[in-house]
Amino acid sequence: MEQRILNFEQKLAQSELDGFLVTNLLNIYYLTGFSGTEATVFISKNRRLFLTDARYTLMARKSVQGFDIIETRSPLSVLANIVSADGLSRLGFDKQVTFAYYQNLKACLAGVELAAMDDFTEELRMIKDSNEIAAIKRACQISDQAFADVLSFIKPGETTELEVAHFLDFRMREYGAAGISFETIAASGGRSAMPHGTATDKAIVSGDMLTLDFGCYYNHYVSDMTRTVHIGPPTDEEFDIYETVLKANQSLIEASKAGLSYRDFDRIPRQVIDEAGYAQYFTHGIGHGIGLDIHERPYFGNADGVVEAGMVVTDEPGIYLDNKYGVRIEDDLLITAAGCEVLTQAPKELIMLS
């Protein structure tokens, strides 16, 4: 934690800001290790303050190191006095606050210039340290294990999408997950053409494609993986589309390494799908960062930047034919100097269930 705070303070010193008000709970967890639901962190040149209410004071005293812990139910009034006493004139704050909070902030800190930021702590979070990587790896292993188990759970003609989703959710918890990292997607048949088709009571039947997109939390960090399986033998077109998506997914694994531009990260797998004639059916981004949040920086496509060692990002090409079916394959990749490590290890050759 201390290294993360030092990095934050170094970034603050290089910025135009006199201080920063951290209210995003994931940013607070990242900087302090505090996992309660009410806290405000204030960092300036000469202060590290952790403000929370009486419900969390004891928890904060146990888990938060290197900060002055202040128990209060009105953190903004406390901060207003400090900001005024220290003569601070320009403060950054986490952009995700509600409009009501922002209005209150403006009223409490009248005369102080306020800069909304969504990339301050978030950029630091992009590069994972060894503890973070270990947690994400475990979350990925748990997802892999649950996927292996769900294959024998599915009885074509009987099992519903919801039953499959619940099985995955429960199995991941049994393997040590703290919870699921987003609502599990189990989309079969025509519903698999929806990239984010949440599970329904539709039974999974012979001839269906079945897309499973799921993940869990382990020690506050997420996994996010997708596998598509087929019930019974696929048609030639289904097989061709599956192989195209797999080739796109593999092309990015082969190309990924520190220094690859965000644009190329998106372009390389997209070109595989394009060359197979399915460009218009790959309708979403190639991937995103994962960590404390299921979707976090970096994002790709038209953004400037290059992937760096220590980033953990998804590689999730897909092809979706309206009203027919869809295929997506998603892995979590740890970027390294020489290449990447694939953290999700569940098999990717087309699995046929019967």
Pick the stretch among 9-17, 50-58, 220-228, 234-242 that binds Mn ion (CB under 5 A). Answer: 220-228
- The CB-of-79 to Mn ion minimum distance in angstroms stands at 36
Based on CB atoms, which residue is closest to Mn ion, 19 or 285? 285
In this structure, how many other beta carbons lie within 10 angstroms of the beta carbon of residue 204?
A: 23
Tell me, what amino acid is at 177? Answer: A
- The CB-of-45 to Mn ion minimum distance in angstroms stands at 39
CA 218 and chain centroid, separation: 13
- The CB-of-114 to Mn ion minimum distance in angstroms stands at 33
Contact 50, 20 (CB under 8 A): no
Euclidean distance between CA atoms 251 and 227, whole angstroms: 17
Based on CB atoms, which residue is closest to Mn ion, 48 or 270? 270
Based on CB atoms, which residue is closest to Mn ion, 77 or 283? 283
Based on CB atoms, which residue is closest to Mn ion, 171 or 328? 328
CA 28 and chain centroid, separation: 16
Positions 14 through 73 that interact with Mn ion (CB under 5 A)? none
Euclidean distance between CA atoms 291 and 339, whole angstroms: 19
- The CB-of-222 to Mn ion minimum distance in angstroms stands at 9
Backbone φ and ψ for 168, nearest 5 degrees, come out as -60, -45
Chosen residue from 144, 163, 224, 332 binding Mn ion by CB under 5 A = 224
Q: CA separation (Å) from 3 to 66, 207, 347? A: 11, 53, 37
Pick the stretch among 3-11, 81-89, 93-101, 307-315 that binds Mn ion (CB under 5 A). Answer: 307-315
CA angle 104, 31, 312 (to 5 degrees): 115
- The CB-of-132 to Mn ion minimum distance in angstroms stands at 18
Site string for Mn ion, 90-129 (x = CB under 5 A): ----------------------------------------
169 scored as a contact of Mn ion (CB under 5 A): no
- The CB-of-183 to Mn ion minimum distance in angstroms stands at 13
- The CB-of-138 to Mn ion minimum distance in angstroms stands at 18
Positions 313 through 352 that interact with Mn ion (CB under 5 A)? 314
Quick one: CA dihedral 238, 243, 246, 247, positive or negative?
negative
Question: Please, is 37 exposed, middle or buried when counting C-beta atoms within 10 Å of its C-beta (0-12, 13-18, 19+)?
Answer: exposed
Site string for Mn ion, 253-272 (x = CB under 5 A): --------------------
Q: What is the dihedral of CA 31, 32, 35, 39, to 10 degrees?
A: -90
Based on CB atoms, which residue is closest to Mn ion, 208 or 316? 316
Which residues contact Mn ion by CB under 5 A?
224, 314
